Structure 1
Amino acid sequence: MRFSERVLDLFGEDAVWSDDHEGMSGHLLRVSSASGVFYVKHGSVAEAEYERLRWLKHWMAVPDIVAFDQDALVLADVGWPSLERRAPADIGAIMGRVLRELHAVPIEECPFDEGLTVRLARAEQRLEAGLVDADDFDDDHADLSPRQVYDRLLADRPAHEDLVVAHGDYTPSNVLVSRDGRPVLIDVGGLGVADRYLDLAIALRDLGEDFGESAVDDFLTAYGLEEVDRRRLDYYRLLDEMF
């Protein structure tokens, strides 16, 4: 990929570029230079994240935007490890508290729609473009093809959505926390108004698989959810396979 001179001038000629780091994706690069450490996102994901970061900073802590030029977004390194990397004993409680705060943001204030109609349309586009990786499906979906997953999503679509401002990819790797407990949300390109189970399904799956049932219990207590809707939980886990 090529970046504008404005972006390249931020780092200098001796900058070291790498995609070998936590949170690595095809759209994210880490840059180390004399002026500091930065993360550069590019393409459509950069534009989506830029718009959401500008809005979300009024409600939650997020990385500082250093520059946005053409299709490149430059973010300052927060300097804190993710919860996935730190793995504190109270990880479930931290995840629950942070998500409760995000879900308390008034949906009337949020300009981004990530409801089922939007997400299913995006899933269909990814399916038709051959972008859904069946090899990455969870074990209980491993016998399904991308087309079967999509068809099941249409057939089992919930009649009701409990709308909140959702993160869209709420995992321990996307929550950074300082030593004194201050959280920062990253990778918010999928943030928008959606069913709260869009976040709950992913958070509970990752906490249960990586940190055990005690972390799940701590999460639910901190979030304030006494009873889990297993059908919606399963549905939104299935939806995540398309992305």
Structure 2
Amino acid sequence: MEIPSDLAGPPPADTPVPGFLDAALESFGLGRAQLSPVWRNGAGGLTFSVASAGEASPIDYYVKWNPAAAGESLAADAERLCWIAGRHPAPAAIELVTNAHEEVLLTRALPGESAVSRRWKHEPEVALRALGVGLRQLHSVALDQWPADWNVTHPRGVEDADASDPDGAPSIDRLVLCQGDPCAPNTLLAADGSFLAHVDLARLGVADRWSDLAVMSMSLAWNFTDYDESVFWEAYGIEPDPRRIDYHRRRHNA
């Protein structure tokens, strides 16, 4: 989960490559590839870009490494990337290697940049529009073939959608396919600033759409300055609901 902490964000250029990741790349036939660190998540996991033909070559892959104790599952990420292929834009999962202590996932690179790259941080209106469009597209994915045992649903079932709740939870608005970790860094933009894809899908699941909307809109302040939040809401196509936003942000922060 990309969170506002001293651990999350681009790591130093001299970040060591974990030995298990190095060995995994050897087994993938990428032992001589050029690696560059691009992200450290709040759980201590690392992501590197992989240029298989050398330092000046285009990026061919991204490789993620997580310690098993991180609480993040690259196996779940790989499963969901395979399921969503052809349904919604996301990287292709190429290889997954795990042991009792570590995980490594290799994905194919897409021709775009994170919404929080230097370019898009300087063009927040473009980035926020793509964030809204991307979530709207994801939330429109059909759920008829979604594996039931992957569900990450609202704490109350669909049958209780209109019931009052003693803890102050609002009724369910709409159950959709949610990103689950919808922070701005997990959206890619194409060169023209349009939405390209979502990444980091280990928490992808069925939930009230406000669980994504509340967290995504909260993450804007972590990543952008001098932005107009209304651009995000207009791009998604909904008016902000203060009660639902407050509830889902409190659940997230808890």
TM > 0.5 = yes
Distance 1:91 1:9, change over 3 A: same
Structure 2 residue corresponding to 1:190, chosen from 203, 209, 223: 203
AA partner of residue 63 (structure 2):
Y
Unaligned ranges ≥5, structure 2: 1-18, 54-59, 157-165
Residues 164-243 of structure 1: pairs in structure 2 closer than 5 A:
164-180=176-192, 181-208=194-221, 210-211=223-224, 215-226=228-239, 228-242=240-254
CA gap of 1:116–1:41, structure 2 versus 1, over 3 A, is farther
2:116 is matched with 84
The aligned counterpart of 1:28 is 46
Matched, 1:40 2:28: no
Matched, 1:9 2:27: yes
For residue 106 of structure 2, the aligned residue among 63, 67, 74 is 74
Q: Which secondary structure does the structure 1 equivalent of 2:188 belong to?
A: strand
Any conservation in 1 of the 2:134–2:197 contact (CA below 8 Å)?
A: no
1-side partners of 2:83 and 2:210: how far apart?
22
Provide the residue aligned with 1:143 in structure 2. none
Q: TM-score, normalised by structure 1?
A: 0.71
Q: 1:233 to 1:3 in 2, by over 3 A?
A: same
1:28 deviation in Å? 3.0
- Report what 1:149 is aligned to: none
Q: What is the CA RMSD across the aligned residues, in angstroms?
A: 3.1
Q: Structure 1: where are the runs of 5+ without partners? A: 119-153
Aligned residue pairs: how many?
206
2:63 is the alignment partner of 1:50: no
2:130: which partner in 1?
94
The structural deviation recorded for 1:105 is: 1.2
d(CA) in 2 for partners of 1:165, 1:106:
8
Summarize the alignment of residues 104-183 of structure 1 with structure 2, pairs less than 5 Å apart.
104-111=140-147, 112-117=150-155, 155-160=167-172, 162-180=174-192, 181-183=194-196
Amino acid at match of 1:219: F
Change (3 A) 1:235 1:53: same
Deviation at 1:29, TM superposition (A): 3.3
TM-aligned CA distance change 1:201 to 1:4, over 3 Å: same
Identity %: 24
Cα drift, residue 66 of structure 1? 1.8
Supply the AA of the counterpart residue of 1:168. Answer: G
**In structure 1, the residue corresponding to 2:110 is in which secondary structure?**
coil
- Matched to 1:21, the amino acid is V
Report the CA distance shift for 1:69/1:13 in structure 2 as closer, same or farther (over 3 A): closer
So what's the TM-score if we normalise by structure 2?
A: 0.68
Following the alignment from structure 1 to structure 2, what is the Cα–Cα distance between the partners of residues 159 and 76?
39
179 and 162 in structure 1: CA distance in 2 versus 1, 3 angstrom threshold: same
Task: State how far apart, in whole Å, the 1-side matches of 2:129 and 2:216 are.
Answer: 12
Cα distance in 2 for residues equivalent to 1:217 and 1:108: 32
For the structure 1 residues 211 and 30, does the alpha-carbon distance in structure 2 shift closer, same or farther, using more than 3 Å as the test?
A: closer
**How far did residue 166 of structure 1 move?**
0.5
Aligned to 2:73, the other structure's residue is in SS state helix
